Amino acid sequence: MNSNLTADRQTFVTHLECSLTGERYEADQLHGLSRAGRPLLVRYDLDGVRAALAKDALAARPTDLWRWRELLPVRRTENVVSLGEIETPLIPLVKSGGGGNVLVKDEGRLPTGSFKARGLVMAVAMAKELGVTRIAMPTNGNAGAALAAYASRVGIETIVFCPEDTPEVNVREIAMQGARVYRVNGLIDDCGAIVGKGAAEGRWFDFSTLKEPYRIEGKKTMGLELAAQMGWELPDAIFYPTGGGTGLIGMWKAFDELERLGWIGPKRPRMYAVQASGCAPIVRAFEAGEQHAERWEDAHTVAAGIRVPRAVGDFLILRAVRESGGKAVGVGDPAILAAVDDCAKKDGLLLCPEGGATLAAYRQALRDGEVDEDERVVLFNCATGLKYPMPEAPAWLDRHGAIDLGAL
């Protein structure tokens, strides 16, 4: 067991390994992709974790992201960074979801208003621990905002590239939180190519999705939290908005680690990777029985966060979906927008478009007989709906004129 520990901090990282070949890499060193060009996964001494941490002890801790510290990679307490990463609530969609069995895990309550905070808080903490001083990242918006916030907090210089149609609120929050942000006339993988070129020249460290090992570790806390919140009994199905797929991959890893700790049984949720039909490379690969997904050309959707034409972890997403008995599902923009509208008007919860996609996909799966009404289902709302455009509300009253109160 690796154990350069402090009195109040324990970590049980043993090594990293290539997700494709299993090749082993040393911990405590700066890594990008493996030699095979695939994501690296962090491995732990789970026997050591089991001996050091009981479920009862975990239950006594504050319910934030850092309560899971034995299953996280940061070794030294002084490198922990936080803006208050709370445990996000599970909210039943009684009306728009069709009953109390459909729960939304509302990730919009996290710092910077999205689930990107989970991955980036861990990646930035590890960048600090490993001596990184300058980072660059491509983003569709929310990841860049989270990176800017956490990197600024620890004094790491940050450069962010985003597609030219990235929502204005995202671009401005990235800039306001201390990063240099540039719009690019292209999609997120075009932005990623610029980041990759600069990284190859030694100008910065590449923080693209899954191109460093630790964002997965932050995102896996969604799965850890979900298990604890549901009494260590996982739901029947999870609908997850899938672009780069880090969270889906991370949750699948979390469930494996929890079973090996003896905290949950072998039951797994069916994992539904939800994409927009205007950008659905994972859906196409799933339906064709492929292990990898070809780039999606002319990608377009109102759900910008899942407009990812090519995912470096495509085979990991597809593996988790297939092993779980789930499916990759594409939904159109009209269904996404209708789901957002229904959820707001009927259940009072503002979903982001990507969250709306999961509700639309659940409804489609229900119609197709993929899920039953009595099954426990969790949908992920990945960001606060307050960041996104809403319909105009133009009604106006002249207080000096006659007002027909009965007509209001």
Gyration radius of the chain over CA positions:
21
For residue 1, pLDDT beyond 50:
no
For residue 287, pLDDT beyond 70:
yes
For residue 4, pLDDT beyond 70:
no
Q: Closest by alpha carbon to 390, among 348, 332, 351, 361?
A: 351
pLDDT tens digits along 358-371? 999 999 999 999 99
Average confidence (pLDDT) over 166-180: 95
Average confidence (pLDDT) over 278-306: 95
Average confidence (pLDDT) over 165-187: 95
pLDDT tens digits along 57-74? 998 999 999 999 999 999
Give me the pLDDT at residue 6, please: 41
Average confidence (pLDDT) over 176-202: 96
- 71 contact partners, CB below 8 Å, separation of at least 6: 12, 44, 49, 220, 224, 254, 257
- Model confidence at 11, in pLDDT bands (50, 70, 90)? confident
Give me the pLDDT at residue 9, please: 54
> What is 116-206's CATH topology?
Rossmann fold (3.40.50)
Give me the pLDDT at residue 10, please: 62
What's the whole-number average pLDDT of the chain? 94
Q: Are 356 and 343 in contact (CB under 8 A)?
A: yes
For residue 2, pLDDT beyond 70:
no
Average confidence (pLDDT) over 298-316: 92
For the four alpha carbons of 118, 270, 310 and 71, in that order, the dihedral sign comes to positive
Give me the pLDDT at residue 100, please: 86
Name the CATH code of domain 90-113+214-387 (choices 3.40.960.10, 3.60.20.10, 3.40.50.620, 3.40.50.1100). 3.40.50.1100
pLDDT tens digits along 92-130? 999 999 878 999 999 999 999 999 999 999 999 999 999
pLDDT tens digits along 338-357? 999 999 999 999 999 999 99
Q: With b meaning 16 or more CB within 10 Å and e meaning fewer, what string describes 2-34?
A: eeeeeeebbbbbebbbbbeeeeebebeeeebbb
For residue 8, pLDDT beyond 60:
no
**What is the chain's length?**
408
Q: Is there a shared CATH topology between the 90-113+214-387 domain and the 116-206 domain? A: yes
Rounded Cα gap, residues 275 and 270, in angstroms: 16
- Model confidence at 267, in pLDDT bands (50, 70, 90)? very high
Return the domain boundaries, the chain: 13-79, 90-113+214-387, 116-206
- 139 contact partners, CB below 8 Å, separation of at least 6: 145, 147, 160, 161, 162, 166, 170, 174, 188, 191
- Model confidence at 179, in pLDDT bands (50, 70, 90)? very high
